[in-house]
Amino acid sequence: MAQENQQSPEAVLVHVPRRLDTEDAQLALERIQELLKKHAIVEQLVHRQEAGDDQSTLVEGLIRRQHEAELSNTLNALHPADIAFILESLPTEERQLIWSLVNSKYDGDILLEVDDWVRESLIASMDRADLLAATEDLDADELADLAADLPPDIVAEVQKGLTDAERAQLLEAMGYPEGTVGAIMDFDMVRVREDVTLEVVLRYLRRLSELPDHTDQIFVVDRGDQIQGVLSISRLLVSDPETIVKDVMNTDYLSLGPDDEDREAASAFERYDLVSAPVVDQQNRLIGRLTIAEVVDVIREDSQEQDLSRAGLQEEDIFAPVSNAIRNRAPWLFLNLCTASVASYVASQFEDTVSKIVILAFLMSIVAGIGGNSGNQTMTLVIRALAMGRITSNNVKSLLRREFVVTFLVGISGSLVAAVFAWLVSHSISIAAVMMAALVCNMLIGAMLGVLIPLTRDRFGKDPAMGSSVLLTFATDSLGFFVFLGLANLFLI
């Protein structure tokens, strides 16, 4: 249960948590970890004194409260995003202790910041009153982000405190599937009519307590909420106040649909250097907006997913129970074991060749390794291009042809070095020639598969990065051994 920070109301009003850069956030984490170590030592002393005299127990209890107060004060001086970073970096028991010391007014913001796997454990540790307090001040779009992890009765209770408009927004946002623009769009935005003057717009803005975050443009709508254009804040400030909005608004703008994929929207933001974009329905009615804040989260999450997918992993708590980690990691490792066994079986079929020319056993790992590395380079470029939407059915052949040319030229130069090495260790020009040919062939195989594997997975609606490196390694190892030892069997025996 999150406790209230013991500060005066005046102090709460003036306190603004300081945002930290990456290095400072790591220093803050180390500071918290040091305090946690001290807290653990104090806890051990308290337990030892429980059977002792009352005076010793009282002293140890005071020391424990002092350490908890120091932890609490250190934590609550941080920005919620930095507290979220600390929570994600701690083992489960320490995470729960830290969570219990966080000022309850930050609970909602922290739950929005932490990754899903941490959020679930934090919510599970909170009682009904804490959850209601954490969510009652959140906007409709923020509630929609948490709704999937909150108990249904909490969501229903929070809805009672919303206005009709906010309730409709919440239900609308919850109705869009994860991975779409509608699921992450923001409902807090400024709208104006096209037939008013800029002076009227300025007076309207001054009446607001503050502008919504990342407001770089105002949306111009008609009485039916159909969007007519956008008015940039910079244009508003430098234009004559008597000018009509219609005369200075921009009608050449990017709009998004709520069913659009968030990855495609992120690509559009990157391509056009956007800060915000309107979200409209099929009738061109303005229903929300997407801001750079949500887009950055999408880009970060996609990057993390791709990094994990290449190793055949899904997102997991780094301090998750061992059983969870095993379920996450074992399947692709077992698949890798099977593929490695196949590669070994291929090599075993050339036992006579290897027994006659023992040096081949040492050289064939070079062929397999270089082919795998070359394929991984190609595959990384293809996966990145797929994520950016740059690959279509019209340019696949051109891409494959280009990768073949690049790989062949790189392979020729690299194979010359490998051939010289093979000649130095074997003193055989024939072995060097076989080494050179096998290396080029396996690199071309790696390049081809580096293109085809992610494209095939993407074609069938699968994550192109998931396990692709495992499949590529299997192919380049097996075929690399087969090509190298096969050529050796043909020309050296």
Q: How far is CA 119 from the centre of its chain?
A: 15
Residues 86 and 89: their CA atoms lie apart, in Å, by: 5
pLDDT score of 10: 37
What token pair was written down for 332? 């692709």
Q: What DSSP string runs through 410-441? A: HHHHHHHHHHHHHHHHH--HHHHHHHHHHHHH
Amino acid at 439: L
| Burial of residue 355, with CB atoms counted within 10 A of its CB: 0-12 exposed, 13-18 middle, 19 or more buried | exposed
For 418, other C-beta atoms within 10 Å of its C-beta total 20
Q: Which long-range contacts (CB under 8 A, 24 or more apart) does 10-18 make?
A: 12/105, 17/76, 17/77, 17/78, 17/79, 17/80, 17/82, 17/106, 18/77, 18/78, 18/79
Residues 297 and 293: their CA atoms lie apart, in Å, by: 7
- What are 399-410's pLDDT values in tens digits? 888 988 999 999
Q: Identify the CA nearest to 488 among candidates 343, 371, 365, 360.
A: 360
Residues 60 and 48: their CA atoms lie apart, in Å, by: 10
Q: Residues 483, 442: contact at Cβ < 8 Å?
A: yes
| Burial of residue 438, with CB atoms counted within 10 A of its CB: 0-12 exposed, 13-18 middle, 19 or more buried | buried
Q: Which residues pair with 256 in a beta bridge?
A: 279
Whether this prediction's pTM lies above 0.75 is answered by no
The mean pLDDT value for 213-225 works out to 94
- What are 272-294's pLDDT values in tens digits? 999 999 999 999 999 999 999 99
pLDDT at 14 over 60: no
What percent of the chain clears pLDDT 90, i.e. is strictly above it?
36
Q: Residues 432, 419: contact at Cβ < 8 Å?
A: yes
Q: Which residues pair with 276 in a beta bridge?
A: 291
pLDDT at 234 over 60: yes
- What are 81-117's pLDDT values in tens digits? 899 999 988 888 889 989 988 988 899 999 988 888 8
Residues 6+ apart with CB under 8 A from 132: 154, 157, 158
pLDDT score of 302: 80
- Higher-pLDDT residue of 28, 431: 431
pLDDT score of 11: 37
Instruction: Give the chain's domains with CATH numbers.
Output: 9-137 (no CATH), 191-310 (3.10.580.10), 322-491 (1.10.357.20)
Q: Residues 457, 361: contact at Cβ < 8 Å?
A: no
* pLDDT confidence band for 19 (50 / 70 / 90): low
What token pair was written down for 355? 């027994």
Residues 107 and 129: their CA atoms lie apart, in Å, by: 12
User: Which residue reads 């028991």 in tokens?
Assistant: 93
- What are 421-479's pLDDT values in tens digits? 999 998 899 999 999 999 999 999 999 999 998 898 888 888 787 777 888 888 899 99
Residues 424 and 418: their CA atoms lie apart, in Å, by: 10
- What 3 state SS string does 229-253 have? EEEEHHHHHHCCCCCEHHHHCECCC
Residues 198 and 240: their CA atoms lie apart, in Å, by: 7
What torsion do the CA atoms of 72, 77, 82, 88 make, to the nearest 10 degrees? 0
Amino acid at 492: L
Amino acid at 113: E
Residues 6+ apart with CB under 8 A from 335: 312, 467, 470
Q: Poorest-confidence range of 75-79, 316-320, 430-434?
A: 316-320
pLDDT at 165 over 90: no
- What are 112-155's pLDDT values in tens digits? 888 888 888 899 889 888 998 888 888 888 888 888 888 888 88
355 membership: H or E segment, kind and range: helix 351-356
Residues 320 and 115: their CA atoms lie apart, in Å, by: 13
Residues 262 and 183: their CA atoms lie apart, in Å, by: 9
Largest Cα span, the chain: 93
Amino acid at 194: E
* Gap between the terminal Cα atoms of the chain: 76
What torsion do the CA atoms of 234, 239, 241, 247 make, to the nearest 10 degrees? -100
Residues 411 and 407: their CA atoms lie apart, in Å, by: 6
What token pair was written down for 396? 């696949």
Rounded (10°) angle between helices 396-426 and 429-459:
150
pLDDT at 13 over 50: no
Residues 387 and 465: their CA atoms lie apart, in Å, by: 10
pLDDT score of 320: 65
Rounded (10°) angle between helices 80-88 and 116-124:
90
pLDDT at 7 over 50: no
